[in-house]
């Protein structure tokens, strides 16, 4: 199933294309590296003519008329990110997790076992069997309402927001077999 992004956050904008592109200057196209807002896809975008994009700017990339983006080149790996894009990535993910806290709390409230020996919750950095059982117990009593609620109800819980951000970064760098947040 192909996951389509509706909008993306610009991580870096190269008005003269990639510096390592061997083509002559007049052949190079401006390029933007961006992170999809919904599925955290790393994307390479080509802006429309005479459009100058700013890092952290949100752009529409869905179906239909786009005001700033000409076309999507495709998905890229984290290794292809520029230094600037790589430096912006954690901040952009942090903001996305903060803005969509409900979506991530929903994960903690609905996470299921992957196998008889492994639970989705154990994929979150810093969560072992002990935390997993406590989270399952507490969410059965009453679903979690926020990261703060989780921290208050689960003893010695590592910060759930930080753990989710770490997990998304790990999935983006391809270090993980199971992806729960990145499509």
- Least Cα distance to 168 among 117, 118, 97 occurs for 97
Band of the pLDDT at 47, cuts 50, 70, 90?
Answer: very high
148-175 per-position pLDDT tens digit: 999 999 988 889 999 999 999 999 988 7
Q: Please tell me whether residue 44 adopts helix, strand or coil conformation.
A: strand
| Cβ neighbours, 10 Å, residue 143 | 13
Band of the pLDDT at 183, cuts 50, 70, 90?
Answer: confident
Band of the pLDDT at 108, cuts 50, 70, 90?
Answer: very high
Domains of the chain are: 7-96 (2.40.50.140), 100-172 (1.10.150.280)
Contact 46, 30 (CB under 8 A): yes
Decide if pLDDT at 102 tops 80: yes
Decide if pLDDT at 142 tops 80: yes
H helices of 73-172, in order, are 83-99, 101-110, 129-141, 147-153, 160-172
56-78 per-position pLDDT tens digit: 999 999 988 899 999 999 999 99
Q: In percent, how much of the chain has pLDDT > 70?
A: 98
């Amino acid at each position: 199933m192909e996951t389509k992004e509706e909008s993306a956050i610009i991580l870096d904008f190269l008005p003269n294309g990639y510096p390592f592109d061997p083509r002559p200057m007049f052949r190079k196209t401006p390029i933007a590296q961006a992170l999809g807002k919904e599925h955290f896809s790393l994307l390479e975008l080509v802006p429309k003519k005479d459009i100058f994009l700013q890092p952290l700017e949100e752009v529409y990339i869905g179906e239909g008329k786009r005001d700033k983006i000409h076309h999507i080149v495709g998905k890229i790996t984290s290794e292809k990110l520029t230094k600037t894009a790589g430096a912006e990535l954690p901040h952009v993910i942090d903001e996305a997790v903060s803005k969509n806290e409900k979506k991530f709390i929903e994960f903690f409230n609905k996470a299921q076992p992957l196998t008889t020996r492994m639970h989705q919750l154990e994929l979150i950095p810093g969560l072992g069997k002990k935390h997993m059982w406590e989270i399952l117990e507490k969410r059965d009593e009453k679903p979690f309402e926020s990261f703060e609620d989780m921290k208050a109800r689960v003893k010695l819980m590592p910060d759930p927001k930080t753990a989710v951000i770490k997990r998304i970064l790990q999935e983006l760098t391809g270090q993980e077999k199971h992806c729960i947040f990145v499509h």
